[in-house]
Chains A and B, each alone.
Chain A
């Protein structure tokens, strides 16, 4: 059998995948108009922020015989069973499936040709390009998609307006009360909202509303609804609905038994579905029918959750009912309403704004008898009793992929799954819109799987939680923290983590008092331990710039103490092979010559690499060395969850490899571009652009906030790369550039305290007899060097003689 699928969107992909999974043996040919294979359109917006095209692209199903991309099917010859494409290609079929989706509706207003739509990767590329030269944007349409598009424009740096013809935002999902609370949230994000008025016309650089309001608009995006793409069906003489959509029966078959229609182009049971979950169900029904089954499409879940960072909005089930219970807190921005059957026994649906916690919990209970007081259900998810664990087995947990509680529980126990990633992989739940992921976690928990955020056996808290405890309670010692918030006496995991938190919050010398006992070996000796028990010495060389005099001092010290020297990958010099009792003597000489600790041993700022920049380089557009030195001096000594590395390049040629760093600065004609969240190491990742064309002051302020926010909220040993991916670039921008949490003043103050409180750890140590006491090989023989340390010669320098390892 030859199956031909027209359109290569999510629905087509699901169809092909289902056929393959069910061992279909014929050929499958997909013809798609877009120049790329199917990708996750639901996650489209992330393409503007942190996802690459390859992140969004679905894996190619094995059973696919042929794919024609960038070609459109223009006609169907039902008699010959052949489709013809725009390029003139003919493809014969035995079974034809239309999965042509829908197109954004563009209202016929004057100037509409200037506007963009928000549907494909190409649309987003065009919007991004246009936004580069624009200051403001207007999105027409205040529904789910319109708000998502508006938030994206804001993320692109435009001052953004939303115009909604209806009386409130998201008119299809929320009611009057929910709409007013929602509006408050949207306005707090920095978006301007105009409701109850339509668009009159679009002019060169502004739009004019029906009520006469004029808004500057460099970019205009339509998100005023979608229209099914049924033109092929019309051409082929197949019935279509009055308002569009290819008419199909419950088996997804059109009037022609050889032609099916699935997804957003299909009109089934009098409805066109604009959400991905019902589209996937249609694909599965059609696949079953093609394979001879008798599956039926009996309606789809219209639950929806807004994917806007920082605003929780969700609706599910039926949005009317005989009885309703409402909770409203205008100050806190929370509005919740549940609809209940007239006998007050069955949950019909609900709306949540500002707190979507009940959404994933209650959605699966729609249509079922209530297990709790309606008023208790309003607070479901906030610790008030009800949890996913209480669901009946046939309750649907993941509506995108139609996975029930029972299937998830069986997979967890049967396959021994231990985390959310495993459940996603084995059941597909949670892999589309992601809104059921919290439910997956609680079902795992109810099956006895402990998803622990505990730092170690001594603390049930994560590092960010401990950070807040220490900060809010003003705790200054590990003893107090573990006595009041932990158990036992700590270990090599929690002690250094707490040492770092105390250092970040309270400053002071890391070897002062009780803190000294918390430090890892490296911090304890302010040097890096090597395989034979000796240490390395890395003086700071800010920006990699060093005078001949200082180079000579390093050479002399290395020679006098017989140390191995090597240029590091961080543009400085490492001296290896020092015994503990030599460290203070070595550092005394270095400190006297003006060197200070390079913190190579600490979870702290390491280096800020530079390239030569505009001072010497014929391409340089800014002083990269000067900026690197300024940044390294500003952040030196800053203790953090993991090490921090940075670099400054003088132009886009990027010789300092700034995009491989935790924060990287690249000069532009107009200032500096700031990239964050890169690293090398085990899992290399390029840093993402956080902000462009910053002045010196803006650059420093943005990095200040980035670092302080990271220090406060990252996990133990989490580099910025993983942290940035976790919090998301948009959220990061909102917090540190638009102060969405109102904490910037606090972050700024934290960094000011660090800068003002900085002192060189090694200079302070060589002056302090108390701290020097620990730098001996043996307490009872301070002048005896460790006899186990032996070197041999290699290429005119020392190397450790390998110690033989024999175990008891």
Chain B
């Protein structure tokens, strides 16, 4: 097994239940895709440098499940996705909205195993 990337914060978690999502190559660089993981809608992103991120797909501002369709980029050093409805930027690392830190979307552990992207949303 080769682990290309695993979020350090989650490495020691014992409640991880990894669900395979798709092939790593199915994800377009700098674009997202939505996945159903244990009843949760998760937005999965592959950034330009090959890193992966998983956050909640629900846009807390509009209530629609559309975060995976947002434009991916950076704000300063922070990788972000802009909500497609009204463009609020969310950190892909922490899920916090950079223009309104009281609002955040959940983040999920994500990794690649033998070319397959896996998300844990237990």
A488 neighbours in B (Cβ, 8 Å): 73-74, 76
Q: Does A778 contact B (CB under 8 A)?
A: yes
Residue of B nearest to A800 (CB): B64
B64 neighbours in A (Cβ, 8 Å): 531-533, 788, 803
| Contact across chains for A804 and B85 when beta carbons are under 8 A apart | no
Q: What's the nearest-Cβ distance from chain A to residue B10, in Å?
A: 20
| Contact across chains for A489 and B36 when beta carbons are under 8 A apart | no
| Contact across chains for A492 and B87 when beta carbons are under 8 A apart | yes
B75 neighbours in A (Cβ, 8 Å): 457, 491
| Contact across chains for A531 and B69 when beta carbons are under 8 A apart | no
Q: Does B41 contact A (CB under 8 A)?
A: yes
| Contact across chains for A779 and B74 when beta carbons are under 8 A apart | no
| Contact mask for chain B residues 73-98; partner A; CB cutoff 8 A; 1 contact, 0 none | 11110011010110101000000000
| Contact across chains for B74 and A489 when beta carbons are under 8 A apart | yes
B20 touches which one: A494, A525, A531, A780 (CB < 8 A)? A780
- CB within 8 Å of B: which A11-48 residues: none
Q: What's the nearest-Cβ distance from chain A to residue B39, in Å?
A: 9
B104 touches which one: A517, A780, A805, A808 (CB < 8 A)? A808
| Contact across chains for B34 and A779 when beta carbons are under 8 A apart | yes
| Contact across chains for A521 and B66 when beta carbons are under 8 A apart | yes
- Total of A-B residue pairs, C-beta within 8 Å: 118
- CB within 8 Å of A: which B17-35 residues: 19-22, 26-31, 33-35
| Contact across chains for A779 and B70 when beta carbons are under 8 A apart | no
Given A517-B72, A780-B21, A533 contacting B28 (CB threshold 8 A): no
| Contact across chains for A489 and B35 when beta carbons are under 8 A apart | no
| Contact across chains for B33 and A521 when beta carbons are under 8 A apart | no
Given A491-B74, A516-B28, A807 contacting B21 (CB threshold 8 A): no
| Contact across chains for B74 and A490 when beta carbons are under 8 A apart | yes
How many residues of chain A have a CB within 8 Å of chain B? 39
Given A778-B34, A788-B41, A805 contacting B63 (CB threshold 8 A): yes
Residue of B nearest to A521 (CB): B84
| Contact across chains for A495 and B66 when beta carbons are under 8 A apart | no
- CB within 8 Å of A: which B87-122 residues: 87, 89, 102-105
Q: What's the nearest-Cβ distance from chain B to residue A518, in Å?
A: 8
- CB within 8 Å of B: which A157-176 residues: none
A472 neighbours in B (Cβ, 8 Å): none
| Contact across chains for A807 and B22 when beta carbons are under 8 A apart | no
| Contact across chains for B82 and A491 when beta carbons are under 8 A apart | yes
| Contact mask for chain B residues 57-72; partner A; CB cutoff 8 A; 1 contact, 0 none | 0101111111001111
Given A492-B70, A495-B73, A786-B65, A517 contacting B29 (CB threshold 8 A): yes
Residue of A nearest to B39 (CB): A787
| Contact across chains for A531 and B35 when beta carbons are under 8 A apart | no
Q: Does B52 contact A (CB under 8 A)?
A: no
Q: What's the nearest-Cβ distance from chain A to residue B22, in Å?
A: 5
Q: Does B44 contact A (CB under 8 A)?
A: yes
A786 neighbours in B (Cβ, 8 Å): 34, 41, 65
Given A488-B73, A531-B85, A807 contacting B30 (CB threshold 8 A): no
Residue picked from A520, A532, A778, A804, most chain B C-beta under 10 Å: A778
Q: Does A777 contact B (CB under 8 A)?
A: yes
- CB within 8 Å of B: which A502-561 residues: 514, 516-518, 520-521, 524-525, 529, 531-533
Q: What's the nearest-Cβ distance from chain A to residue B119, in Å?
A: 9
A516 touches which one: B22, B31, B37, B69 (CB < 8 A)? B31
A778 neighbours in B (Cβ, 8 Å): 34-36, 41
Q: What's the nearest-Cβ distance from chain B to residue A483, in Å?
A: 10
Residue of A nearest to B82 (CB): A492
| Contact across chains for A517 and B63 when beta carbons are under 8 A apart | no
Q: Does A479 contact B (CB under 8 A)?
A: yes
A491 touches which one: B21, B31, B36, B71 (CB < 8 A)? B71
Cα distance A705–B74 in the bound complex, in angstroms:
37
Q: Does A781 contact B (CB under 8 A)?
A: yes
Cα distance A488–B79 in the bound complex, in angstroms:
9
Cα distance A185–B21 in the bound complex, in angstroms:
68
| Contact across chains for A495 and B71 when beta carbons are under 8 A apart | yes
Residue of B nearest to A789 (CB): B65
Cα distance A494–B82 in the bound complex, in angstroms:
12
Q: Does A496 contact B (CB under 8 A)?
A: yes
| Contact across chains for A525 and B69 when beta carbons are under 8 A apart | yes
B29 neighbours in A (Cβ, 8 Å): 514, 517
Q: Does A683 contact B (CB under 8 A)?
A: no
Q: What's the nearest-Cβ distance from chain A to residue B71, in Å?
A: 4
Residue of B nearest to A529 (CB): B84
Given A780-B20, A781-B36, A489 contacting B61 (CB threshold 8 A): no
Cα distance A532–B27 in the bound complex, in angstroms:
24
B70 neighbours in A (Cβ, 8 Å): 492, 521
A458 neighbours in B (Cβ, 8 Å): 73-74
Cα distance A496–B71 in the bound complex, in angstroms:
9
Cα distance A601–B36 in the bound complex, in angstroms:
27
A525 neighbours in B (Cβ, 8 Å): 69
Cα distance A520–B89 in the bound complex, in angstroms:
14
Q: Does A806 contact B (CB under 8 A)?
A: yes
Q: Does A566 contact B (CB under 8 A)?
A: no
Q: Does A80 contact B (CB under 8 A)?
A: no
Cα distance A492–B30 in the bound complex, in angstroms:
12
Given A533-B65, A779-B44, A805-B60, A489 contacting B31 (CB threshold 8 A): no
| Contact across chains for A804 and B71 when beta carbons are under 8 A apart | no
A777 neighbours in B (Cβ, 8 Å): 34
B62 neighbours in A (Cβ, 8 Å): 531, 803, 805
Given A778-B36, A779-B44, A780-B21, A804 contacting B63 (CB threshold 8 A): yes
Cα distance A518–B48 in the bound complex, in angstroms:
12
Cα distance A525–B63 in the bound complex, in angstroms:
20
Given A517-B28, A529-B84, A807 contacting B61 (CB threshold 8 A): yes
Residue picked from A492, A773, A805, most chain B C-beta under 10 Å: A492
Cα distance A633–B35 in the bound complex, in angstroms:
40
A788 neighbours in B (Cβ, 8 Å): 41, 58, 64-65
Q: Does A410 contact B (CB under 8 A)?
A: no
| Contact across chains for A517 and B65 when beta carbons are under 8 A apart | no
Residue of A nearest to B88 (CB): A492
A808 touches which one: B34, B37, B63, B103 (CB < 8 A)? B103
- CB within 8 Å of B: which A775-808 residues: 777-781, 784, 786, 788, 803-808
Extra contacts besides A780-B21, A805-B62 (16): CB < 8 Å: A457-B75, A488-B73, A491-B74, A495-B71, A521-B71, A531-B62, A773-B26, A774-B28, A774-B31, A777-B34, A780-B36, A781-B36, A786-B41, A806-B60, A808-B103, A808-B105
Report, nearest first, the 8 A-B pairs whose CB atoms are least far apart: A803-B63, A521-B84, A492-B82, A491-B73, A533-B64, A517-B30, A492-B71, A488-B74
Q: Would you mind naming 5 contact pairs between A and B with Cβ atoms under 8 Å apart?
A: A516-B28, A531-B85, A780-B21, A781-B36, A808-B105
